[in-house]
């Protein structure tokens, strides 16, 4: 097997691992799986979560009013921030959520863009897409749609989006450069990227990178901030910012997270033009 083929096979295996984990969470209810595994970045509220025993999604920037406004099934507590709050969303805009999961950030964005706006969520996990679509249907969200797809190959037209958001998902991608390239492609000139994600404060060992559990729980797939900035600029973005949040060793971290120095960050960038 050639090096390129081997690399793609490894990437596919990584996607299958992540898809299986989050498919189980989507099928297991709002608190994630009940088998003792960590649900995700801030998932189950068990000792496997970086957020401790706090209410689902409460520690990551959502107000009580926001949490009360979204369909109950959309809040699985899997994020590490509130990307819809990083950028002032306006009525009539088109918003794209990369790795939209059960839809919490899409539903929050939908209220901000209004009936003349539109929100698209893309996720590679069928169970998540199905759950989000059901929440949109029962909640009467006519300005939201959910598409099955990979964030490295977005099922979205060129230059059709005003703001790209994402919440603790890009770190899960086997390769980040295609994700940022795709975000740049779908944004209109002058469009903005507003992402909450996990960022490494120092190099992560090859051994930790190869651990599927650490990777799929938003740990060992994280890049350092300098690498994130480099990839965004390579994709064509300007005004790139990576702002770390929280202590380097968060309370009650996932196994290995404290030693890896992986922390949440707010990432912003702009597509030139407009």
Q: Specify the higher pLDDT residue, 119 or 72.
A: 119
Query: Of 38-42, 77-81, 260-264, which gets the smallest average pLDDT?
Result: 38-42
**96 pLDDT above the threshold of 90:** yes
Res 26: pLDDT: 92
Res 1: pLDDT: 58
**CATH classification for the domain delimited by 3-270, as one of 2.60.120.10, 3.60.21.10, 3.40.50.1980, 3.40.50.150:** 3.40.50.150
pLDDT in tens, 23-56: 999 988 444 433 333 345 554 433 233 443 333 4
Q: Concatenated DSSP letters for 104-121? A: HHHHHHHHHH-TTSEEEE
Res 139: pLDDT: 95
| pTM for the full predicted model | 0.87
Domain boundaries, the chain: 3-270
Separation between Cα atoms, residue 193 and residue 210, nearest integer Å: 29
pLDDT band for position 102 (cuts 50, 70, 90) = very high
**72 pLDDT above the threshold of 90:** no
The answer to whether the Cα torsion of 116, 117, 123, 128 is positive or negative is negative
Report helix, strand or coil for 196: strand
Nearest Cα to Cα of residue 37 among 251, 255, 259, 260: 255
**115 pLDDT above the threshold of 90:** yes
37: its two tokens: 């595994």
Q: Specify the higher pLDDT residue, 231 or 30.
A: 231
CB count in 10 Å sphere of residue 6: 10
Res 135: pLDDT: 96
Res 48: pLDDT: 35
């Amino acid at each position: 097997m050639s090096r390129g083929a081997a690399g793609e096979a490894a990437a596919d295996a990584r996607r299958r691992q992540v898809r299986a984990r989050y498919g189980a969470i989507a099928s297991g209810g709002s608190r994630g799986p009940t088998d003792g595994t960590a649900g995700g970045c801030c998932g189950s509220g068990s000792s496997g979560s970086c957020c401790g025993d706090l209410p689902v999604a409460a520690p990551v920037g959502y107000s009580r009013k926001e949490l009360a406004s979204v369909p109950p099934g959309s809040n699985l507590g899997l994020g590490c921030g509130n990307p819809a709050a990083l950028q002032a969303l306006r009525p009539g805009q088109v918003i794209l959520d990369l790795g939209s999961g059960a839809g919490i950030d899409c539903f929050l964005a939908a209220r901000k863009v209004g009936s003349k706006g539109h929100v698209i969520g893309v996720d590679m996990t069928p169970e998540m897409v199905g759950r989000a679509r059901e929440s949109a249907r029962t909640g009467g969200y006519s300005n939201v749609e959910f598409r099955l797809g990979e964030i490295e190959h977005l099922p979205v037209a060129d230059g059709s989006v005003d703001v790209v958001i994402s919440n603790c998902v890009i770190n899960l991608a086997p390769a980040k450069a295609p994700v940022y390239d795709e975000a740049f492609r779908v944004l209109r000139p002058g469009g903005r990227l507003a992402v909450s994600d996990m960022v490494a404060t120092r190099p992560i060992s090859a051994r930790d990178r190869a651990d599927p559990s650490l990777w799929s729980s938003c740990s060992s797939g994280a890049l350092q901030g300098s690498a994130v900035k480099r990839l965004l600029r390579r994709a064509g973005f300007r005004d790139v910012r990576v702002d770390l949040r929280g202590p380097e060793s968060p309370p009650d971290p996932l196994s290995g997270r404290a030693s890896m120095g992986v922390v949440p960050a707010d990432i912003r960038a702009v597509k030139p033009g407009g």
